[in-house]
Structure 1
C-alpha cells in the first residue's frame, strides 16, 4: 500500500525546494551585504566611529530573518489564511503605534519608527505590509465570487485598507501607500475583477494620486524636480543629480569596489534609497545588469510559484505569492527608476540590498513563506495522484 510522505521521502518538502529561487535570494543577500557595507562605511565611520556599524546591524537582521523565516517555513501555508481579519487589525494597530506619545520616533521629517523599551526600534510598515498581504490574499480567496461579480467586494476590502493608507500618508510614507494600492489593484485584476470595475478602480487611484501630489507642496516639488534635475542641482534635485553623477562615473566596469566618490558625503542615503547609484559607480554597467538579472530571476520564480499554486486550486497560496511578486517588482522598479531619474523620489529601498534591518528581516520571512508554497505545490500534486 502506497503511503504519502512515507520513509521513501519522495515528496519531502526539502527535496522540492526551488533551487533557482534559493540561489537568487542567496546572491542578492550576499552581494547586498557587500555593497551595503561599501556604501555605508563613510557615514558609519563619521557617525559611529565604526565603519562596520551598519554591517553588524544588517547582518544581525539577516540572521534573524533566516531563523524566523525557517521556523515559518515549517508552518503549513493554509495556517496564514485562517488568521483572517485578525491580520488586518494587527497591521492597522501597528501603523497606529507611531502616533502614541513617547513611542513614535521621527527621522528625516517622517514618523515611521516605534520605540518599545529595550527592544530595537521597529519601522512599522514592514510587519504591517506582511500582514496586509496575508489579509488581501485571504480576502480575495474567501470572496472569490463577489470579487468576480460586484464592485461591493472592493468597497468591503477598503474598509481595512483605507485606514492603513491614511495612517501611512500621515507619517508620511507616500511610496509604501502606492505599493500597497498597487498590490490591491493587481490582485483584484488576477482574481477576476470585471474590467469596467477595474477601469473605475484605476481612475479612482489616479485621481487620489493627483490630489495627494497637487495638495502637498513637497510632493509636487519632487514630481517636477525629476523632470529637469539640473534646474535646481543644489536644492530639490540634489540627490538625483549626485545619483546621476555616480551612475555616469561607473562606465562599463565601474571604478572598483569601495572606490565610490559620491558616497563620501555627496550622495545622501547612499546605503539606503540610493545604493543602486553606488553599485553602478563601483561595479559599472556590467554589475548593474547582473543585479537586475538576479532580481528578474527571483521575480520570475515568485510568479511561477504563484501560477503553479493557482493551477492546483491553491488559490490563497497563489494570491499570496502573486502579491509578494508585485511588491518586490514595484520596489525594484521604483528604486532603480528613482536612481536613474526616470521616476520621482519615493523613499523605497532595494530589497535585500539596501540597508534596513526591519525590511531585511521581514523580506526574508516573507520569501521563506513563498518558498514553502513552492515546496508544497509538487507535494500536494503527488499526494493527490497516489
Structure 2
C-alpha cells in the first residue's frame, strides 16, 4: 500500500473513530440534569446556538470536581502555612471554576456560524493580546505571560490559542481545496502560526507553541494536505523545537531530567 493511500485510510479511520466515540458517549446513561440546565439547553437550541451532548457536560463537570479535589489535597498544608487558611487555594480555584462556567454558558449561546464569520477578527485580537502581554504584562520567574485585570490574572496565551484554532478551523473549511491542491494554501496558516509562535517565544512559552504545532499538524492532516507536506512540516518542526530546547539550558535540563530523573532526584528530576 502506498503512503498516500495509507494517509487517506488513516484520515478515514480517524473520522470513523470520532463518530463511534461520539455515538458511544451519547448512549451512556446520564443522570438527569437540574431543571435550570435543561431550560438553558432548550434556550440555546431555540436561538440557533450550538447543540451539545449532555454526556460531555457530565464529563466536563467530573473533570472540574477531580481537579478541585487535587488542588485541595495538594495545597491545604501550604495554604495553612502561608495564609493561615487551609482552603485559600481551594476557594480561589472554586471562583475560577464559577467564572469559567459563566464564560462557557455565554459561549454556548453563540451560533457556530458567528465563530466562523468572525474568525479573522478573533485572530487579530489574539495577536493584540500577545503583543500587549509583552508590553504591560507581569513577569514571574523570568517569564512575561500574564495580564493583570484587577484581582484577576489572565494568561494571554490561553485565549489567543483558542482564537487561533477558531481561525485555523474556519480557514480549512473555506480553503480546503486549496490546502489539498495548492502549496500556497498549505503555507498560509503556517505563516500565521509562525507569527504567533514568535510572540509566544518572546514570553517565553515553548509549551504553548508545542501544543499549537501539534494541533495545527492534526487539523491539516484532517483537511487532506499532501503527505510530503506533512513530512516537511514534521522535520522542520522537530528540528526547530529541538534547537529551541538545546540552546536554552533550563529547557534542556527538563529534557534530560525526563530521560533520567535520578540524575538529579532532588532538583530538576
- Common fold: TM-score over 0.5: yes
Tell me, yes or no, if structure 1 residue 224 matches structure 2 residue 259: no
Match of 1:206 in 2: 238
Are 1:91 and 2:123 matched, yes or no?
no
- CA distance 1:225–1:31, shift in 2 (3 Å): closer
Distance in 1 between residues matched to 2:52 and 2:216, nearest whole Å: 28
5+ unaligned residues in a row in structure 2: which ranges? 1-41
Runs of 4+ off more than 4 Å = none
- Deviation at residue 211 of structure 1 after TM alignment: 1.4
For the structure 1 residues 53 and 88, does the alpha-carbon distance in structure 2 shift closer, same or farther, using more than 3 Å as the test? same
Offset at 1:193?
0.4
Query: In structure 1, what is the Cα distance between the partners aligned to 2:81 and 2:128?
Result: 36
Q: Is the 2:133–2:147 Cα contact (8 Å) retained in structure 1?
A: yes
Cα distance in 2 for partners of 1:200, 1:87 equals: 29
Aligned residues: 224
- Secondary structure, in 3 states, of the residue corresponding to 1:171? coil
Show CA shifts across 1:165-200 (max 9, x none): 111112111111100011111000000001111111
Of 43, 46, 53, 2:81 maps to 46
Where 2:268 maps in the other structure, the secondary structure is: coil
Q: TM-score, normalised by structure 1?
A: 0.55
- Return the match for 1:114 from 143, 147, 151: 147
> Is 2:106 aligned against 1:74?
no
Note the C-alpha offset of 1:90: 0.8
Aligned to 1:63: 98
Equivalence for 1:188: 220
Provide the rounded CA distance (Å) in 1 between the counterparts of 2:191 and 2:161.
Answer: 16
Query: Could you say which structure has the higher helix fraction?
Result: 2
RMSD: 2.0
Aligned with 1:147 (options 171, 179, 186): 179
> Conserved in 2, the CA contact under 8 Å of 1:88 and 1:160?
no
Where does residue 284 of structure 1 map in the other structure? none
1:167 equivalent to 2:202? Answer no
TM-score, with structure 2 as normaliser: 0.77
Counterpart for residue 123 of structure 1: 155
SS at match of 1:128: helix
* Counterpart Cα distance in 2 of 1:86 and 1:131: 9
In the superposition, relative to structure 1, how do residues 187 and 76 fare at CA in structure 2: closer, same or farther (>3 Å)? same
Quick one: structure 1 residues 42 and 109, their matched pair in 2 at CA, closer, same or farther if it must change by over 3 Å? Answer: farther
Q: Quick one: higher RCO (CA 8 Å, sep 6+), 1 or 2?
A: 1
Cα drift, residue 17 of structure 1: 4.3
Unaligned runs of 5+ in 1: 1-9, 238-386
Q: Distance in 2 between matches of 1:163 and 1:47?
A: 41
Q: For residues 46 and 162 of structure 1, what CA distance do their matches in structure 2 show?
A: 44
- The equivalent residue for 2:137 is 104
